[in-house]
Structure 1
Amino acid sequence: MKEQLENIIKEVYQKKNKNLFTFLTGAGISADSGIPTYRGTDGIWVKGTKFHKPEEFGTFQYFKENPEEVWQYSLFRKKMFESAVPNQSHFELVEIENLLQDRFHLITQNIDHLHRRAGTQRLYEIHGKPREIKCSNGCNEIIDLPLEIAGKNQEEDLTQKDIELLKCKACGSWMRPNILWFDERYDEKTNKKFSSLKMAKNSGVLFIIGTSGATNLPMAIAETTLKYGGTIVDINTEDNFFTTRIKDKKNKIIIRESASEVLKMIKEIIKETVNS
Protein backbone atom coordinates (compact mmCIF):
# COMPACT_ATOMS: atom_id res chain seq x y z
CA MET A 1 0.00 0.00 0.00
CA LYS A 2 2.72 2.50 0.96
CA GLU A 3 4.57 1.90 -2.29
CA GLN A 4 1.38 2.45 -4.29
CA LEU A 5 0.74 5.72 -2.46
CA GLU A 6 4.33 6.88 -2.98
CA ASN A 7 4.10 6.17 -6.71
CA ILE A 8 0.82 8.01 -7.30
CA ILE A 9 1.70 10.99 -5.08
CA LYS A 10 5.07 11.51 -6.78
CA GLU A 11 3.52 11.08 -10.22
CA VAL A 12 0.77 13.63 -9.59
CA TYR A 13 3.15 16.11 -7.94
CA GLN A 14 5.36 16.12 -11.03
CA LYS A 15 2.47 16.78 -13.44
CA LYS A 16 1.82 20.19 -14.98
CA ASN A 17 -1.84 19.45 -15.74
CA LYS A 18 -4.45 17.50 -13.78
CA ASN A 19 -2.16 17.88 -10.81
CA LEU A 20 -4.54 18.64 -7.94
CA PHE A 21 -4.65 16.58 -4.76
CA THR A 22 -8.31 16.44 -3.75
CA PHE A 23 -9.73 14.97 -0.56
CA LEU A 24 -13.42 14.04 -0.22
CA THR A 25 -14.63 13.45 3.34
CA GLY A 26 -17.83 12.24 4.94
CA ALA A 27 -19.25 11.51 8.37
CA GLY A 28 -16.75 8.75 9.11
CA ILE A 29 -13.91 11.22 9.55
CA SER A 30 -15.76 12.90 12.43
CA ALA A 31 -16.62 9.68 14.28
CA ASP A 32 -13.48 10.03 16.45
CA SER A 33 -14.76 13.46 17.49
CA GLY A 34 -17.84 11.83 19.01
CA ILE A 35 -20.26 12.76 16.24
CA PRO A 36 -22.40 9.77 15.22
CA THR A 37 -22.50 8.79 11.58
CA TYR A 38 -25.85 9.15 9.86
CA ARG A 39 -27.15 5.71 9.10
CA GLY A 40 -25.53 3.53 11.76
CA THR A 41 -27.42 2.01 14.68
CA ASP A 42 -26.31 4.93 16.84
CA GLY A 43 -26.60 7.35 13.96
CA ILE A 44 -27.47 10.98 14.33
CA TRP A 45 -30.81 10.58 12.57
CA VAL A 46 -31.81 7.77 14.93
CA LYS A 47 -30.77 9.64 18.07
CA GLY A 48 -32.31 12.98 17.25
CA THR A 49 -35.49 12.54 15.24
CA LYS A 50 -38.97 11.11 15.48
CA PHE A 51 -38.34 8.96 12.41
CA HIS A 52 -35.45 6.57 11.88
CA LYS A 53 -35.41 7.12 8.11
CA PRO A 54 -33.56 10.32 7.17
CA GLU A 55 -35.42 10.40 3.85
CA GLU A 56 -38.64 11.06 5.79
CA PHE A 57 -37.41 13.68 8.23
CA GLY A 58 -34.60 15.37 6.33
CA THR A 59 -36.70 16.97 3.61
CA PHE A 60 -37.88 20.45 2.73
CA GLN A 61 -41.42 19.06 2.56
CA TYR A 62 -41.24 17.90 6.18
CA PHE A 63 -39.81 21.26 7.23
CA LYS A 64 -42.72 23.13 5.62
CA GLU A 65 -45.18 21.02 7.60
CA ASN A 66 -43.21 20.89 10.89
CA PRO A 67 -40.80 23.85 11.07
CA GLU A 68 -40.55 24.00 14.86
CA GLU A 69 -39.79 20.29 15.18
CA VAL A 70 -37.07 20.52 12.52
CA TRP A 71 -35.56 23.58 14.17
CA GLN A 72 -35.55 21.83 17.56
CA TYR A 73 -33.61 18.98 16.00
CA SER A 74 -31.29 21.38 14.16
CA LEU A 75 -30.45 23.19 17.40
CA PHE A 76 -29.94 19.87 19.19
CA ARG A 77 -27.46 19.00 16.45
CA LYS A 78 -25.89 22.47 16.70
CA LYS A 79 -25.10 21.82 20.37
CA MET A 80 -23.66 18.41 19.48
CA PHE A 81 -21.37 19.92 16.83
CA GLU A 82 -20.22 22.75 19.08
CA SER A 83 -19.30 20.37 21.90
CA ALA A 84 -17.16 18.26 19.56
CA VAL A 85 -13.53 19.05 18.74
CA PRO A 86 -11.50 18.27 15.60
CA ASN A 87 -9.63 14.98 15.76
CA GLN A 88 -6.25 13.85 14.45
CA SER A 89 -7.57 13.24 10.92
CA HIS A 90 -8.77 16.84 10.66
CA PHE A 91 -5.36 18.12 11.75
CA GLU A 92 -3.45 15.79 9.42
CA LEU A 93 -5.41 17.30 6.52
CA VAL A 94 -4.46 20.81 7.64
CA GLU A 95 -0.78 19.82 7.60
CA ILE A 96 -1.20 18.28 4.14
CA GLU A 97 -2.79 21.52 2.93
CA ASN A 98 0.15 23.50 4.32
CA LEU A 99 2.53 21.32 2.30
CA LEU A 100 0.58 21.38 -0.99
CA GLN A 101 -0.85 24.92 -0.79
CA ASP A 102 -2.90 25.70 -3.94
CA ARG A 103 -2.66 22.14 -5.19
CA PHE A 104 -4.75 20.95 -2.21
CA HIS A 105 -8.55 21.01 -2.09
CA LEU A 106 -10.93 19.49 0.42
CA ILE A 107 -14.53 18.67 -0.46
CA THR A 108 -16.63 17.64 2.53
CA GLN A 109 -20.13 16.31 2.91
CA ASN A 110 -19.97 17.18 6.61
CA ILE A 111 -21.81 20.13 8.10
CA ASP A 112 -20.15 19.91 11.53
CA HIS A 113 -17.64 22.74 10.83
CA LEU A 114 -14.75 20.65 12.22
CA HIS A 115 -12.54 20.96 9.14
CA ARG A 116 -12.80 24.75 9.30
CA ARG A 117 -12.22 24.78 13.05
CA ALA A 118 -9.12 22.63 12.58
CA GLY A 119 -7.74 25.25 10.17
CA THR A 120 -8.52 24.03 6.65
CA GLN A 121 -8.78 26.96 4.21
CA ARG A 122 -9.36 25.43 0.77
CA LEU A 123 -12.68 23.89 1.74
CA TYR A 124 -15.88 23.18 -0.18
CA GLU A 125 -18.85 22.25 2.03
CA ILE A 126 -21.13 20.62 -0.51
CA HIS A 127 -23.98 19.83 1.88
CA GLY A 128 -24.24 23.42 3.06
CA LYS A 129 -23.66 25.24 6.35
CA PRO A 130 -26.17 24.99 9.23
CA ARG A 131 -24.55 28.06 10.76
CA GLU A 132 -26.24 29.98 7.92
CA ILE A 133 -29.97 30.42 7.29
CA LYS A 134 -32.15 31.48 4.37
CA CYS A 135 -35.83 32.15 3.76
CA SER A 136 -37.91 29.03 3.14
CA ASN A 137 -40.14 31.09 0.86
CA GLY A 138 -37.36 31.90 -1.58
CA CYS A 139 -36.08 35.32 -0.54
CA ASN A 140 -32.51 35.27 -1.82
CA GLU A 141 -30.40 36.54 1.07
CA ILE A 142 -28.30 34.03 3.04
CA ILE A 143 -27.39 35.25 6.54
CA ASP A 144 -25.59 33.89 9.60
CA LEU A 145 -27.68 32.11 12.21
CA PRO A 146 -28.18 34.75 14.93
CA LEU A 147 -25.76 34.36 17.81
CA GLU A 148 -28.64 34.67 20.27
CA ILE A 149 -29.97 31.29 19.12
CA ALA A 150 -28.19 28.71 21.24
CA GLY A 151 -27.85 24.97 20.79
CA LYS A 152 -30.40 22.94 22.73
CA ASN A 153 -30.83 19.67 24.52
CA GLN A 154 -33.00 17.15 22.72
CA GLU A 155 -36.10 17.89 24.83
CA GLU A 156 -35.85 21.70 24.78
CA ASP A 157 -38.47 23.72 22.93
CA LEU A 158 -37.87 26.86 20.92
CA THR A 159 -38.33 30.09 22.86
CA GLN A 160 -40.50 32.92 21.62
CA LYS A 161 -37.32 34.88 20.94
CA ASP A 162 -35.94 31.99 18.86
CA ILE A 163 -39.12 31.96 16.78
CA GLU A 164 -38.96 35.72 16.20
CA LEU A 165 -35.32 35.49 15.07
CA LEU A 166 -36.12 32.57 12.76
CA LYS A 167 -38.68 34.47 10.73
CA CYS A 168 -37.73 36.21 7.48
CA LYS A 169 -37.59 39.97 7.91
CA ALA A 170 -38.71 40.47 4.31
CA CYS A 171 -41.77 38.21 4.11
CA GLY A 172 -42.38 36.73 7.56
CA SER A 173 -41.87 33.10 6.49
CA TRP A 174 -39.75 30.67 8.50
CA MET A 175 -36.03 30.80 7.87
CA ARG A 176 -34.39 27.41 7.29
CA PRO A 177 -30.88 26.01 7.71
CA ASN A 178 -28.73 26.57 4.62
CA ILE A 179 -28.18 22.85 4.06
CA LEU A 180 -29.14 20.29 1.44
CA TRP A 181 -32.16 18.13 2.25
CA PHE A 182 -33.00 14.82 0.62
CA ASP A 183 -35.69 16.21 -1.69
CA GLU A 184 -33.45 19.03 -2.99
CA ARG A 185 -30.86 19.26 -5.75
CA TYR A 186 -27.26 20.33 -5.56
CA ASP A 187 -26.52 23.82 -6.89
CA GLU A 188 -23.50 26.10 -7.08
CA LYS A 189 -24.56 28.81 -4.62
CA THR A 190 -25.00 26.56 -1.58
CA ASN A 191 -23.35 23.30 -2.66
CA LYS A 192 -20.47 24.30 -4.98
CA LYS A 193 -21.63 21.72 -7.50
CA PHE A 194 -19.84 23.01 -10.58
CA SER A 195 -16.73 24.13 -8.71
CA SER A 196 -16.39 20.64 -7.22
CA LEU A 197 -16.80 18.90 -10.57
CA LYS A 198 -14.24 21.23 -12.18
CA MET A 199 -11.86 20.42 -9.34
CA ALA A 200 -12.44 16.69 -9.85
CA LYS A 201 -11.67 17.06 -13.56
CA ASN A 202 -8.26 18.50 -12.72
CA SER A 203 -7.42 16.10 -9.91
CA GLY A 204 -4.58 13.67 -10.40
CA VAL A 205 -5.69 11.83 -7.27
CA LEU A 206 -8.90 11.85 -5.24
CA PHE A 207 -8.68 10.52 -1.68
CA ILE A 208 -12.11 9.41 -0.41
CA ILE A 209 -12.30 9.23 3.38
CA GLY A 210 -15.18 8.19 5.65
CA THR A 211 -18.00 8.30 3.13
CA SER A 212 -19.94 5.58 1.34
CA GLY A 213 -20.99 7.48 -1.81
CA ALA A 214 -24.71 7.29 -1.08
CA THR A 215 -25.44 10.74 -2.54
CA ASN A 216 -25.06 11.75 -6.15
CA LEU A 217 -22.60 14.69 -6.17
CA PRO A 218 -19.83 12.79 -4.32
CA MET A 219 -20.28 9.90 -6.74
CA ALA A 220 -20.20 12.33 -9.70
CA ILE A 221 -16.95 13.79 -8.31
CA ALA A 222 -15.40 10.31 -8.27
CA GLU A 223 -16.76 9.52 -11.74
CA THR A 224 -15.31 12.76 -13.12
CA THR A 225 -11.88 12.10 -11.61
CA LEU A 226 -11.86 8.64 -13.21
CA LYS A 227 -13.11 9.93 -16.55
CA TYR A 228 -10.22 12.38 -16.85
CA GLY A 229 -7.53 9.91 -15.82
CA GLY A 230 -7.19 10.55 -12.11
CA THR A 231 -6.67 7.88 -9.46
CA ILE A 232 -9.16 7.11 -6.69
CA VAL A 233 -7.87 6.18 -3.23
CA ASP A 234 -10.75 4.70 -1.20
CA ILE A 235 -9.93 5.00 2.53
CA ASN A 236 -12.85 3.54 4.46
CA THR A 237 -13.38 0.90 7.12
CA GLU A 238 -15.56 -1.20 4.81
CA ASP A 239 -16.58 -1.55 1.18
CA ASN A 240 -19.07 0.98 -0.15
CA PHE A 241 -20.64 2.40 -3.32
CA PHE A 242 -17.30 3.87 -4.39
CA THR A 243 -15.64 0.48 -4.03
CA THR A 244 -18.20 -1.10 -6.34
CA ARG A 245 -17.60 1.62 -8.92
CA ILE A 246 -13.81 1.38 -8.95
CA LYS A 247 -13.15 -2.32 -8.26
CA ASP A 248 -12.42 -3.11 -11.93
CA LYS A 249 -10.39 0.04 -12.58
CA LYS A 250 -6.61 0.11 -12.79
CA ASN A 251 -6.27 3.61 -11.38
CA LYS A 252 -7.46 2.87 -7.85
CA ILE A 253 -6.11 2.03 -4.41
CA ILE A 254 -8.43 0.51 -1.79
CA ILE A 255 -7.36 0.88 1.84
CA ARG A 256 -9.19 -0.58 4.84
CA GLU A 257 -7.32 1.03 7.71
CA SER A 258 -7.80 3.88 10.16
CA ALA A 259 -8.10 7.25 8.40
CA SER A 260 -5.75 9.01 10.84
CA GLU A 261 -2.96 6.47 10.30
CA VAL A 262 -3.32 6.52 6.51
CA LEU A 263 -3.43 10.32 6.43
CA LYS A 264 -0.28 10.44 8.54
CA MET A 265 1.43 8.19 6.00
CA ILE A 266 0.15 10.31 3.10
CA LYS A 267 1.43 13.45 4.84
CA GLU A 268 4.92 11.98 5.29
CA ILE A 269 5.06 10.89 1.65
CA ILE A 270 3.97 14.35 0.48
CA LYS A 271 6.48 16.05 2.78
CA GLU A 272 9.28 13.93 1.36
CA THR A 273 8.07 14.59 -2.21
CA VAL A 274 7.75 18.35 -1.75
CA ASN A 275 11.18 18.64 -0.12
CA SER A 276 13.06 16.41 -2.55
Structure 2
Amino acid sequence: HRDAIHVPGASEPQEIDAAVQRVVQALATCDALLITAGAGMGVDSGLPDFRGSTGLFKDRDVAMTYEEMSDDKWFTEDPAFAWGINYTQIEMYRHTPPHGGYATLLKWAETLGKSVYVFTSNIDGMFQRAGFPDDKVVTCHGDMHHLQCTHDRRTCKGLLEDRSDEVWSADGIPSGLGD
Protein backbone atom coordinates (compact mmCIF):
# COMPACT_ATOMS: atom_id res chain seq x y z
CA HIS A 1 0.00 0.00 0.00
CA ARG A 2 3.03 2.32 0.20
CA ASP A 3 2.46 3.88 -3.22
CA ALA A 4 -1.23 4.33 -2.49
CA ILE A 5 -0.62 6.55 0.52
CA HIS A 6 2.57 8.40 -0.41
CA VAL A 7 1.78 11.98 -1.41
CA PRO A 8 4.99 13.95 -1.95
CA GLY A 9 4.55 17.62 -1.24
CA ALA A 10 0.91 17.38 -0.19
CA SER A 11 0.13 20.76 1.31
CA GLU A 12 -3.33 21.71 0.14
CA PRO A 13 -6.17 20.64 2.44
CA GLN A 14 -7.83 18.56 -0.27
CA GLU A 15 -4.54 16.73 -1.01
CA ILE A 16 -4.05 15.99 2.67
CA ASP A 17 -7.67 14.84 3.06
CA ALA A 18 -7.31 12.54 0.05
CA ALA A 19 -4.08 11.08 1.47
CA VAL A 20 -5.72 10.51 4.87
CA GLN A 21 -8.63 8.71 3.19
CA ARG A 22 -6.17 6.44 1.36
CA VAL A 23 -4.43 5.70 4.66
CA VAL A 24 -7.76 4.84 6.31
CA GLN A 25 -8.61 2.49 3.44
CA ALA A 26 -5.16 0.88 3.49
CA LEU A 27 -5.36 0.31 7.26
CA ALA A 28 -8.84 -1.20 6.96
CA THR A 29 -7.64 -3.76 4.42
CA CYS A 30 -4.12 -4.53 5.66
CA ASP A 31 -3.06 -7.84 7.21
CA ALA A 32 -0.64 -6.17 9.64
CA LEU A 33 0.82 -2.75 10.35
CA LEU A 34 4.53 -1.96 10.15
CA ILE A 35 5.53 1.35 11.69
CA THR A 36 8.92 2.63 10.54
CA ALA A 37 10.62 5.51 12.31
CA GLY A 38 13.92 7.30 12.49
CA ALA A 39 15.56 10.27 14.15
CA GLY A 40 12.60 12.59 13.63
CA MET A 41 10.58 10.75 16.26
CA GLY A 42 13.26 11.33 18.90
CA VAL A 43 13.90 14.92 17.82
CA ASP A 44 10.20 15.68 18.28
CA SER A 45 10.57 14.44 21.88
CA GLY A 46 13.42 16.90 22.42
CA LEU A 47 16.38 14.58 21.80
CA PRO A 48 19.30 15.78 19.68
CA ASP A 49 19.70 14.27 16.21
CA PHE A 50 23.38 13.44 16.83
CA ARG A 51 24.49 14.79 13.46
CA GLY A 52 27.81 16.60 13.49
CA SER A 53 30.03 17.24 16.49
CA THR A 54 27.40 19.14 18.50
CA GLY A 55 24.64 16.52 18.38
CA LEU A 56 25.22 15.05 21.83
CA PHE A 57 27.05 17.91 23.53
CA LYS A 58 25.50 21.15 22.30
CA ASP A 59 27.01 23.07 25.21
CA ARG A 60 30.61 21.87 24.74
CA ASP A 61 33.33 22.21 22.13
CA VAL A 62 33.76 18.62 20.96
CA ALA A 63 36.30 17.72 18.28
CA MET A 64 34.61 14.42 17.31
CA THR A 65 31.43 13.58 15.50
CA TYR A 66 28.87 11.39 17.21
CA GLU A 67 29.79 8.56 14.84
CA GLU A 68 33.45 8.83 15.95
CA MET A 69 32.45 8.94 19.63
CA SER A 70 30.30 5.83 19.15
CA ASP A 71 33.08 3.66 17.72
CA ASP A 72 33.42 0.39 19.65
CA LYS A 73 37.20 0.89 19.83
CA TRP A 74 36.73 3.30 22.75
CA PHE A 75 35.63 0.44 25.03
CA THR A 76 39.16 -0.96 24.63
CA GLU A 77 41.20 2.21 24.11
CA ASP A 78 39.45 4.51 26.60
CA PRO A 79 36.70 2.72 28.55
CA ALA A 80 35.97 5.76 30.75
CA PHE A 81 35.28 7.83 27.64
CA ALA A 82 33.12 5.10 26.06
CA TRP A 83 31.04 4.58 29.20
CA GLY A 84 30.80 8.33 29.73
CA ILE A 85 29.27 8.77 26.27
CA ASN A 86 26.91 5.84 26.81
CA TYR A 87 25.94 6.95 30.31
CA THR A 88 25.19 10.46 29.04
CA GLN A 89 22.85 9.00 26.43
CA ILE A 90 21.14 6.56 28.80
CA GLU A 91 20.43 9.36 31.26
CA MET A 92 19.10 11.61 28.50
CA TYR A 93 16.78 8.85 27.26
CA ARG A 94 15.60 8.02 30.78
CA HIS A 95 14.60 11.63 31.45
CA THR A 96 13.02 12.47 28.09
CA PRO A 97 9.39 11.36 27.79
CA PRO A 98 8.04 10.13 24.45
CA HIS A 99 6.03 12.83 22.65
CA GLY A 100 2.30 12.40 21.99
CA GLY A 101 2.85 10.92 18.54
CA TYR A 102 3.93 7.64 20.13
CA ALA A 103 0.66 7.44 22.07
CA THR A 104 -1.28 8.20 18.90
CA LEU A 105 0.49 5.41 17.01
CA LEU A 106 -0.10 3.00 19.90
CA LYS A 107 -3.80 3.92 19.98
CA TRP A 108 -4.07 3.34 16.23
CA ALA A 109 -2.28 0.01 16.64
CA GLU A 110 -4.61 -1.10 19.43
CA THR A 111 -7.71 0.11 17.58
CA LEU A 112 -6.66 -1.66 14.38
CA GLY A 113 -6.84 -5.03 16.11
CA LYS A 114 -4.17 -6.54 13.84
CA SER A 115 -0.54 -7.47 14.30
CA VAL A 116 1.59 -4.36 14.69
CA TYR A 117 5.36 -4.17 14.41
CA VAL A 118 7.86 -1.32 14.73
CA PHE A 119 11.14 -1.06 12.83
CA THR A 120 13.25 1.87 14.00
CA SER A 121 16.78 3.14 13.66
CA ASN A 122 16.42 4.88 17.02
CA ILE A 123 18.32 3.53 20.03
CA ASP A 124 16.33 5.48 22.64
CA GLY A 125 13.68 2.91 23.62
CA MET A 126 10.87 5.44 23.19
CA PHE A 127 8.50 3.01 21.49
CA GLN A 128 8.78 0.58 24.42
CA ARG A 129 8.37 3.40 26.95
CA ALA A 130 5.23 4.49 25.09
CA GLY A 131 3.76 1.01 25.54
CA PHE A 132 4.73 -0.95 22.43
CA PRO A 133 5.70 -4.52 23.40
CA ASP A 134 9.46 -5.08 23.32
CA ASP A 135 9.07 -8.21 21.19
CA LYS A 136 7.28 -6.19 18.49
CA VAL A 137 10.01 -3.53 18.19
CA VAL A 138 13.10 -4.09 16.03
CA THR A 139 15.94 -1.62 16.55
CA CYS A 140 18.34 -1.97 13.64
CA HIS A 141 21.10 -0.01 15.45
CA GLY A 142 20.56 -1.65 18.83
CA ASP A 143 19.07 -0.13 21.95
CA MET A 144 20.84 1.85 24.68
CA HIS A 145 18.76 0.02 27.27
CA HIS A 146 20.23 -3.38 26.32
CA LEU A 147 23.96 -3.82 26.71
CA GLN A 148 26.29 -6.42 25.23
CA CYS A 149 29.70 -7.56 26.42
CA THR A 150 32.57 -6.25 24.28
CA HIS A 151 34.79 -9.27 24.98
CA ASP A 152 33.03 -12.56 24.25
CA ARG A 153 29.56 -11.15 23.43
CA ARG A 154 27.98 -13.41 26.05
CA THR A 155 29.29 -13.06 29.58
CA CYS A 156 30.06 -9.80 31.34
CA LYS A 157 31.70 -9.81 34.75
CA GLY A 158 32.24 -6.68 36.69
CA LEU A 159 30.58 -3.46 37.70
CA LEU A 160 26.89 -4.32 37.87
CA GLU A 161 26.63 -8.07 38.35
CA ASP A 162 27.50 -11.16 36.37
CA ARG A 163 25.28 -11.58 33.32
CA SER A 164 25.10 -14.62 31.07
CA ASP A 165 22.61 -13.45 28.45
CA GLU A 166 24.03 -12.25 25.16
CA VAL A 167 22.16 -8.95 25.44
CA TRP A 168 20.97 -7.60 28.79
CA SER A 169 19.08 -4.69 30.26
CA ALA A 170 20.80 -1.48 31.30
CA ASP A 171 18.30 -1.00 34.12
CA GLY A 172 20.98 -1.96 36.65
CA ILE A 173 23.00 1.17 35.92
CA PRO A 174 21.95 3.56 38.68
CA SER A 175 20.49 6.94 37.77
CA GLY A 176 22.66 9.88 38.79
CA LEU A 177 25.89 7.87 38.70
CA GLY A 178 27.70 10.66 36.88
CA ASP A 179 26.55 13.45 39.23
Say whether 1:127 aligns with 2:152.
Answer: no
Number of the residue aligned with 1:5: 20
User: Equivalents in 2 of 1:146, 1:99: separation in Å?
Assistant: 31
Q: What's the % identity of the aligned pairs?
A: 21
TM-score by length of 2: 0.70
Deviation at 1:132, TM superposition (A): 2.0
Within the candidate set 97, 112, 127, 1:85 is matched to: 97
Question: Secondary structure in 2 aligned to 1:80?
Answer: helix
Number of the residue aligned with 2:163: none
Letter in 2 for 1:88: G
Say whether 1:100 aligns with 2:112.
Answer: yes
User: Equivalents in 2 of 1:21, 1:146: separation in Å?
Assistant: 30
Letter in 2 for 1:13: A
Number of the residue aligned with 2:159: none
Number of the residue aligned with 2:167: 142
Deviations along 1:70-108, whole A, 9 cap, x unmatched?
101111111111111111111111111111233322112
Kindly indicate whether the alpha-carbon contact (under 8 Å) linking 2:47 and 2:96 is maintained by their aligned counterparts in 1: yes
Letter in 2 for 1:3: A
Q: CA 1:8–1:88 in 2, change beyond 3 Å: closer, same or farther?
A: closer
Within the candidate set 78, 83, 88, 1:71 is matched to: 83
Kindly indicate whether the alpha-carbon contact (under 8 Å) linking 1:45 and 1:53 is maintained by their aligned counterparts in 2: no
Q: CA 1:146–1:120 in 2, change beyond 3 Å: closer, same or farther?
A: closer
User: Equivalents in 1 of 2:144, 2:102: separation in Å?
Assistant: 19
Letter in 2 for 1:79: E
Q: Structure 1 stretches of 5 or more lacking a match?
A: 157-276
The two structures, once aligned, show a CA RMSD in angstroms of 2.7
Q: CA 1:144–1:138 in 2, change beyond 3 Å: closer, same or farther?
A: same
Deviations along 1:90-144, whole A, 9 cap, x unmatched?
1111111111233322112112222111111232222212222222112423222
Kindly indicate whether the alpha-carbon contact (under 8 Å) linking 1:49 and 1:57 is maintained by their aligned counterparts in 2: no
Kindly indicate whether the alpha-carbon contact (under 8 Å) linking 2:33 and 2:114 is maintained by their aligned counterparts in 1: no
Within the candidate set 25, 29, 40, 1:14 is matched to: 29
User: Equivalents in 2 of 1:41, 1:59: separation in Å?
Assistant: 14
Between structures 1 and 2, the one with greater helix share = 1
Letter in 1 for 2:90: K
User: Equivalents in 2 of 1:135, 1:106: separation in Å?
Assistant: 26
Q: Structure 2 stretches of 5 or more lacking a match?
A: 1-15, 155-165
Letter in 1 for 2:105: L
User: Equivalents in 2 of 1:132, 1:20: separation in Å?
Assistant: 27
Larger RCO (alpha carbons 8 Å, 6+ apart): 1
Deviation at 1:62, TM superposition (A): 3.1
TM-score by length of 1: 0.48
Runs of 4+ more than 4 Å apart: 45-50
User: Equivalents in 2 of 1:119, 1:111: separation in Å?
Assistant: 16
Say whether 1:24 aligns with 2:36.
Answer: yes
Kindly indicate whether the alpha-carbon contact (under 8 Å) linking 1:20 and 1:103 is maintained by their aligned counterparts in 2: yes
Number of the residue aligned with 2:6: none
